[in-house]
Amino acid sequence: MMSKTNLQQSLKVWASVAAMALAVGAAPALAAPPDDLIAAAKKEGQLTVIALPRDWCGYGPMIDSFKAKYGLAVNELNPDAGSGDEVEAIKANKDNKGPQAPDVIDVGLSFGPSAKKDGLLAPYKVSTWDSIPATAKDADGYWVGDYYGVLSFAVNADIIKTIPTDWSDLLKPDYKAGVALAGDPRVSNQATMGVYAAGLASGETDAAKAAAKGLEFFADLNKKGNFVPVIGKAASIAQGTTPILVFWDYNALGARDTLKGNPKLEVVVPKSGVVAGVYVQAISAYAPHPSAAKLWLEYLYSDEGQLAWLKGYCHPIRFNNLVETKKVPADLLSALPPAEGYAKAKFPSLDEQAAAKDVIAKQWDAVVGATVAK
């Protein structure tokens, strides 16, 4: 149920992206990093990353090939960290150049500008800068969008016989004690966007109002006994406590691969209320290894890096540019869910995200949660 303005907005995003792609179609997308940068990075010898689970967006193979290509050591801190953790890690390690200090961060969209404001980031424009959509990067180069995905339903097909196709389906009695979020909506970006998406599905376009509608939806879901207040993961889907999980599509697809059919996992992009989440890369202003950090960014935004993300089911930010210049292998494209789901995706702006989060985080307990459910 996409309203006209929402569709227009999505189309605007895609139009600007397409325009960009056409304009820079001739630009050398295979811009290699300058040799002196590589030399400087090798001298530093190490890169410290944080919050990069090996199974998320194919980061595992990416880190390994980066290590092999440039001979640098990569120190992987706390893969389970959230965006807030990453920012706190930079702050806590301002005066510490030891291996506990992250060089680069990969955070939710709203954290880019706020970290920039706090003076925690260092600017850098990668060589493929021009092929990145303007809406997905900071004009001064302090942060840049890296990949996006849409919220989907990860469904345990062994337990759930009728696969839900839309948010409204979830309210049906077939899904008693079946639906969960992959985080705490007061804390996790993924969960908050889930509530927001449910609200968008009702047709509401204003961010704060959609957030309120989303809260109502979950309150209803909870009253009907369909909502499970557990933070869902691959394990809980398999065990059966959270047979339907609202998950980023790349997480759901990754889980499907990990589970190897045991149980069978269906990944469904809902018919309405499709929300895209953009993550951004940034270099820490206090990075102990700034050249290594820049080299890492160069690698991520090269064709090789971007396609590696695609292999991990994450849509890289230069996706349209790569498609235009026919750099995407056919088998990668076919492994992704159908493109129609993404065409309707709503990319919430920074203001919209902030408005939605404000409503959801503050009112979740009052509207949905149980303060003392004995």
Partner 1 sequence: MKSGRFGAWLAMAIGALYFLAPLIATFEFSLRMRRGEYSFDAYRVVLGSSAFHDSFLYSTVLGAVTIVVGLLVVVPTAYWVHLRLPKLRGVVEFITLLPLVIPAIVLVFGYIKLYGSSSILPLTTTSLGADALLMFGYVGLGLPYIYRSVETALRAIDVRTLTEAAESQGAGIWTILFHVILPNIRSGILSGAFLTFAIVIGEFTFASLLDRPAFGPYLQLIGANRAYEPSALAIIAFALTWACMGLIQLFGSGIRLSADKR
Partner 2 sequence: MTTTAAAQSTRALRLPNLAAWLGVAPFFIFAVMFLLLPTASLLVGAFQDHDGAFTLANLGRLWQPSIRLSYLLSIEVSVASAFFGALIGLALAIAALRGGLPAWVRPTLMTFSGVASNFAGVPLAFAFMATLGRLGFVTVLLRSIGFDIYVAGFNLFTFTGLTLTYLYFQIPLMVLVVAPAIDGLRAEWSEAAEILGAGRLQYWRMIVMPILWPSVLGASLLLFANAFGAIATAYALTGSFLNIVPILLYAQIRGDVLHDPNLGYALALGMLLITGLSNLAYLYLRARSDRWLK
Partner from partner 2, partner 1, none contacting 255, C-beta within 5 to 8 A by type:
partner 1
- In the complex, least distance from residue 156 CB atom to partner 1, rounded to whole angstroms: 10
Contacts of 74 (CB under 8 A, 6+ apart): 46, 47, 48, 49, 63, 66, 67
Is residue 224 a contact residue for partner 2 (CB under 8 A)?
no
259 binds partner 1 (CB under 8 A): yes
Residues in Cβ contact with 172 at an 8 Å cutoff, skipping those fewer than 6 apart: 164
- Should residue 281 be labelled a site residue for partner 2 when binding is judged by CB under 8 A? no
- Per the CB < 8 A criterion, the answer to whether 51 and 111 are in contact is no
Integer CA distances (angstroms), 241 to 157, 205, 237, in order? 13, 32, 6
The reply on whether position 183 binds partner 2 by CB under 8 A is: yes
Which of 109, 238, 244, 317 lies at the binding interface for partner 1 (CB under 8 A)?
238
Query: Taking the CB of residue 366, how many other CB atoms lie within 10 A of it?
Result: 10
Nearest-10 Cα torsion for 320, 326, 327, 333: 70
Q: Least distance (Å) from partner 2 to the CB of residue 202?
A: 21
Residue that has been written with the tokens 């979740």 in this structure:
364
Helices vs strands, H then E, count in the chain: 15, 10
User: Which one of 6, 46, 65, 75 is in contact with partner 1 (CB under 8 A)?
Assistant: 75
Reported as type and span, the H/E element at residue 111 is helix 111-117
> Binding to partner 1 by residue 45, rule CB under 8 A?
no
Q: What type of residue sits at position 57?
A: C
Rounded to a whole number of angstroms, the minimum distance from the CB of residue 37 to partner 1 is: 25
Q: Check binding of 251 to partner 2 (CB under 8 A).
A: no
Task: Examine residue 231 and tell whether it contacts partner 2 (CB under 8 A).
Answer: yes
- Scanning residues 9 to 38, which ones bind partner 1 (CB under 8 A)? none
**Which residue in the set 60, 240, 337, 341 belongs to the binding site for partner 2 (CB under 8 A)?**
240
Pairing between β-strand 73-77 and β-strand 46-50 as defined by DSSP bridges: parallel
- Give min distance, CB of 169 to partner 2, in A: 20
Instruction: Please tell me whether residue 162 binds partner 2 under the rule CB under 8 A.
Output: no
Q: Does 229 bind partner 2 (CB under 8 A)?
A: yes
CA-to-CA separations, 326 to 258, 302, 304, 306, 323, in angstroms, rounded:
29, 15, 13, 13, 5
Q: Quick check: 55 binds partner 1 (CB under 8 A)?
A: yes
Choices 56-64, 126-134, 177-185, 328-336; region in contact with partner 2 by CB under 8 A: 177-185
Pairing of strands 179-181, 121-122: unpaired
Chain residues in the site for partner 1 (CB under 8 A): 53-56, 75, 77-80, 88-89, 92-93, 95-100, 233-235, 237-239, 254-255, 258-259, 261-263
Chain residues in the site for partner 2 (CB under 8 A): 82-85, 87-88, 108, 111, 159, 177, 181, 183-189, 191-192, 228-231, 235-236, 239-241, 357, 360-361, 364-366, 368-374
